[in-house]
Amino acid sequence: LGRAGDDAHASSRNERLSDTDILIEDVFGYPAPGSLHPIGFQWSPDGALLGNLFSPNGTLVRNLYAYDVRAGSQRLLATPAREAYADESRLPREEKLRRERTRELGLGVTRFEWASRRAKGEARRLLVPQSDGAYVLDVVDDDAAAGVDGDAGLGGDTAGGDTAGDKDKYLASSEPRLVVDSGDNGAAVLDAKLSPDGRWVAFVREHEIRVAPCDPLDGDDRDEATDRDVASDALPSARVTFGAYGREATTHGLAEFIAAEEMDRAEGFWWSPDGRKIAFARVDAGTVPPYVIERADGSSERHRYPFAGGTNARVTLGVV
């Protein structure tokens, strides 16, 4: 997740076409004609900023912006991590299924979330899930930006291009911090969500819900955490549900197929308003017969698909 980019430059395709030219690639390609507009609008908790996703280059790769109501202008907040530019072939299977069920075709920054509560004087906190985990950045007003440097990308790199002279295009934000990653085995980080106060992030990894702090740890806390999670640059997380890890047909905190496809419910866990509890769905699909999809290249996929008239997954609700 970075801050700069080549978003100010139109694509060569857009430069050589007039407003009335339509090519065969436009008809059958993505993004579809007429769909190049900001999406995913979310107000900051104080109503000062309207977060949105937009691809200024006319591609599927989107950046994170905020419309500054006071200034009357669109400001760039973040560009995606370099890994997020890749196609879906590099994504974990669980993330591919999530994208299919939500009909997500975009790349780059495809989701974000504001912390719903903001105390007076605090920065506005954002969670930005990416292909390698989830990032947090804090956004402050321009007149409160002393000492805040938000031009660096991840790992000390910029996100592409020279940003000199462009600082007036950005709201001031902290450098994006990786707070959740996929761990040593590359397990997918699914459905990351901020607690209402922005202090914690909950997510699902390897069928269980985990919670991680959003703020860096200091001193003994950092040393203790490092002992538990030596290989990770992200902050340590704690598992809060048990019994689904290692069980192929059981999940905690994820919506089952019927909920996602037929009930339009893509979520499987929910923070309480005070941020002290999490309600979650426990899904046991062990009674749903597996269905094997054979591919033309000889490979196959195995899914527990609830056919009409057959057995559905058993869903119960828990609170931790």
Which residues are within 8 A (CB) of 67 and not within 5 positions of it... i.e. 6 or more apart? 49, 50, 52, 73, 74, 75
Asked whether 78 and 137 are in contact (CB, 8 A), the reply is: yes
Among 51, 106, 214, 84, CA closest to 159? 84
pLDDT at 154 (0 to 100): 34
* Global pTM exceeds 0.85: no
Q: DSSP alpha helices (H): ranges in the chain?
A: 12-16, 24-28, 93-101, 219-228, 257-262
pLDDT at 84 (0 to 100): 57
pLDDT along the chain (320 residues), means of 10: 48 55 74 79 92 88 91 88 64 74 80 84 86 87 49 36 38 78 79 94 95 77 44 74 94 92 91 96 94 89 88 95
- β-pair partners for 64: 53, 78
Report which secondary-structure segment, H or E, holds 123.
none
Q: Tell me phi and psi for residue 203, to 5 degrees.
A: -160, 170
pLDDT at 188 (0 to 100): 84
Task: Say how far apart CA 5 and CA 63 lie, in whole Å.
Answer: 9
pLDDT at 166 (0 to 100): 40
Task: Say how far apart CA 266 and CA 10 lie, in whole Å.
Answer: 34
pLDDT at 155 (0 to 100): 32
Cα Rg for the chain, rounded, in angstroms?
A: 21
Residue 49 exposure: Cα atoms within 13 Å on the Cβ side: 27
pLDDT at 233 (0 to 100): 56
Order the strands of the 238-239 sheet from edge to edge: 190-194, 200-205, 208-213, 238-239
- Domain limits, the chain: 12-240, 250-320
Asked whether 175 and 152 are in contact (CB, 8 A), the reply is: yes
Tokens of 191: 């459905």
Asked whether 104 and 33 are in contact (CB, 8 A), the reply is: no
Q: How many residues does the chain have?
A: 320
Which residues are within 8 A (CB) of 199 and not within 5 positions of it... i.e. 6 or more apart? 213, 214, 215, 275
